[in-house]
A and B are shown apart, each in its own frame.
Chain A
Amino acid sequence: MTNLDLARLQFATTSIYHFLFVPVTIGLAFLVALLQTTWYRKRDDEYLRLTRFFGALLVINIAVGVVTGLVQEFQFGMNWSAYSKFVGDVFGAPLAMEGLAAFFLESTFLGLWLFGWGRLPERVHLATIWLVAFGAALSAAFIMAANSWMQHPVGYTLNNGRAELTNIWAVLTNPVFLWGYLHVLLASLVTGSVLMLAVSTWHLRRGSQPEAFDRTARLSLTVLLPAILFALLVGSHLGVIETTYQPMKVSAMEAQWQTCQPCSFSVFQIGGGKNDETPTKILAIPHLLSLLADDSWDGQVVGLNELNQQYQQQYGGDFSYIPNVFIQYWSMRVMAYLGCIVFLFAAWGLWLVRRKKLRTAKWFLLVAPWAVILPFLINTAGWMLTENGRQPWIVQGLQTTSQGVSASVSTTMIWISLTIFVLLYAGLAILCWTLMFRFGRKEIEPAPELGESGASEAAAMTY
């Protein structure tokens, strides 16, 4: 494997891994803040116990999310130094803003929340968990602004072989960013609420503390249904936006080699990989692709071959500008199909809640804990779709991925770092998820005394 392959593999591995934890943090922090707010308003001790129960899961998850974020922050310079030099002017700004405006907030107030039980006034303590949730969500905004610039560069000028920032406002109102960020927030809510639902239904099925877990099952379903519905709708609109700015990405995800008008949507096909231009279409829905990509009944989708010719004329070079079609085609379908399954599943659950049958719904309670896998598959597929679809560009239209890699880093060095990160991350995953399972299956602890007389050490979630 070349340096380029290895560096890409390392970036893909560490980023996909990091994003297993990020949406849980964003989604679950919001839900825990809701639980604590409900406790604060209603003075129902069940909610206090639930806040602390799911808070413990949140904190275990954040621990890994934070440390793997360190790798993300540094590896642009480590493996992609030519890219970093080229884009630092534009791309570095949102990263630095993330640190100053969001990450400080999230980390500092997480410490205050964890250790502030019984020590801060209740109202102030409630504010700290909201600031954690806000900081986590804001953090994602800056990262998405940076990423969206790679998909659709705006607000810059090229000067001395570097992209220089000319309009920060354009970067922060990039349509790819606005819709992409909304999509990520909704996906995070889906992830957090499916996780909460899975834990709650696991307990409900065993009849352990049904009074408490009935509350979180209902809460998570109430958040889940609209979140997944809007995630699907926003995702669909994002497809239309990407057709405008990254047509190659969309044509590749439909394995659409020839230009079509109107275009049918391939539900399932066999073949259609890198060089296979004649896949066996098993099932196709007429006009649906036109609708998805162009928002119109008879919309045109330009084929990969025609786009490739355009790109070769525009950017030069006789290599192919077509990304890996197999990854594009299937990551889009895994994301969309599983997303629809989660939607149906949430509707089923909410219907049971309305009929007051949730606690006795044998099948639902049997299936629901397993559903926890789905959002992680969906999120991973979504990122593969976005990032693989940008290839061979690292910044769409400005720099190819092969031009961005560090010249001074040898193959051996990347092998060493890749091996270390894979082993370390695998170990962390096992430990983190074992702990999540243990804590997720625990009985909820009794509500602590949070007297006005202050500092009861026992109440603080100390290390």
Chain B
Amino acid sequence: MGLQVFWFIAIAVLWTGFFVLEGFDFGVGMLHSVIGKDDAERRALINTIGPFWDGNEVWLITAGAAIFAAFPPWYATMFSGLYLAMVLLLVALIGRGVSFEFRGKRESDRWRRGWGLALTFGSLLAPFLIGVALADLLHGLPIDANQEYTGTFWDLLSPYSIFAGLTFVSLCLLHGATFLSLKTTGDLSDRAHRIARTQTLATGIAVLIFGIWTQVTIHHGAFPDLLSTAAVLAIFGAGWLLSDRREGWAFTMTTFAMGATVLSIFIDLYPNVMVSSTNAAYNLTVTNASSSPYALKVMTVVAVIFLPIVLIYQAWTYHVFRKRIGTSDFEPAAEPAAH
């Protein structure tokens, strides 16, 4: 296996890791004011992802940087082509990122509502835009012989890519609701559980349609590939497990569904990294867009050493904060040292 292929896989894994991890904290962000009825409840919900979200987001940064290092033209064409979408994504991630730290720092309703909105809409917009972007890679964008994007902002929004964005939002909602039903107690857990169960149907259908649409888009017939099919089955499996309140296993299923959906995009994309809708000869591929063998070798050594270490300490973090969180931890009276 060549290093170009290795790095294509590594990047697919980084994106998968990003969606699997940050996916549920996007979901929690979107749902925190739907499930949480008062401030104590909302704080409890936000604190389920408190120790994790920042580390989860680094998967996105590293995925972007890995594309830059391993496939510079891919990074250059994609990020400049998606310019305004990138600006929106950054605004969403910035608003959401600071909302975690800022929200609790003042005892004002307006302040907290404001940051709550930033959290909700940032968490909604980010997976939507990234979903659109990943679908665009596969669906094709107007790219010329110089690997320059020649379209406008609206060319990024094909029906297929918009549907992909919505599918990812739906997956994040399911993943987040399942996570919350697993990580909270009492009423909160019940409400999250109900939302997760309703959400399985919508998400299952969305992923199924997306799987079929993808195959049609790349002219591979009208049947979803193996991974998408498995994702759909996992989602319905999650619904069944949820009805038994086996939340840990349900979360395993939504994790699998999320990962399989992201991976299926990259599998269908290979050996291209960006499809040109102008002319197939202008496609960016793992061979014509890659860095030199030496650069890839250096990067491989670094990744092989550090990625397992990252996985170990992130897994340890999840182990340390494995306890369920209840509203009682955040009632005003029981809160002397928190801000």
Binding site for B on A (CB under 8 A): 52, 56, 59-60, 62-64, 66-71, 73-74, 76-79, 81-82, 84-85, 87-93, 95-101, 103-105, 107-112, 114-116, 119-120, 159, 162, 164-166, 168, 406-409, 413, 416-417, 420-421, 424, 428, 431-432, 435, 438-439, 445-446, 448, 455, 457-463
Interface size counted on chain B using CB atoms at 8 A: 76
* Per-residue A-contact encoding for B122-151, CB less than 8 Å = 1, 0 else: 000000000000000000000000111110
Shortest CB distance A170–B (Å):
12
11 A-B residue pairs with CB within 8 Å? A63-B102, A76-B68, A77-B64, A92-B69, A93-B299, A107-B58, A408-B149, A413-B83, A416-B87, A462-B338, A463-B103
Determine the distance from Cα of A71 to Cα of B95 in the docked complex, in whole angstroms: 13
* Per-residue A-contact encoding for B27-58, CB less than 8 Å = 1, 0 else: 00000000000000001001100111111011
Q: Among B202-210, B239-247, B275-283, B314-322, which stretch is in contact with chain A?
A: B314-322
Looking across the interface, which residue of chain A has its beta carbon closest to that of B77?
A: A81
A111-B51 contact in complex given A77-B79, A81-B80, A84-B76, C-beta closer than 8 Å: yes
Looking across the interface, which residue of chain B has its beta carbon closest to that of A157?
A: B292
Which residues of the partner chain B approach A98 to less than 8 Å between Cβ atoms? 65
A458-B337 contact in complex given A100-B310, A104-B314, C-beta closer than 8 Å: yes
Contact with B84, one of A77, A99, A413 (Cβ below 8 angstroms) = A413
- In this assembly, does B73 line the interface, its C-beta being within 8 Å of a C-beta of chain A? yes
- In this assembly, does B306 line the interface, its C-beta being within 8 Å of a C-beta of chain A? yes
Looking across the interface, which residue of chain B has its beta carbon closest to that of A165?
A: B295
**Interface pair A93/B148, CB less than 8 Å apart:** no
Shortest CB distance A411–B (Å):
12
Which residues of the partner chain A approach B150 to less than 8 Å between Cβ atoms? 408
Which residues of the partner chain A approach B51 to less than 8 Å between Cβ atoms? 111-112, 114-116
**Interface pair B80/A79, CB less than 8 Å apart:** yes
Binding site for A on B (CB under 8 A): 43, 46-47, 50-55, 57-58, 61-62, 64-66, 68-73, 75-81, 83-84, 86-87, 90-91, 93-94, 97-98, 100-106, 146-150, 291-292, 294-295, 298-299, 302-303, 306-307, 310, 313-314, 317, 320-321, 323, 329-330, 334-339
Shortest CB distance A132–B (Å):
11
Shortest CB distance A187–B (Å):
24
**Interface pair A74/B79, CB less than 8 Å apart:** yes
Q: What number of A-B contacts does a CB cutoff of 8 Å give? A: 249
Looking across the interface, which residue of chain B has its beta carbon closest to that of A91?
A: B68
**Interface pair A64/B69, CB less than 8 Å apart:** no
**Interface pair A407/B148, CB less than 8 Å apart:** yes
Determine the distance from Cα of A104 to Cα of B313 in the docked complex, in whole angstroms: 9
Determine the distance from Cα of A85 to Cα of B6 in the docked complex, in whole angstroms: 20
Shortest CB distance B67–A (Å):
8
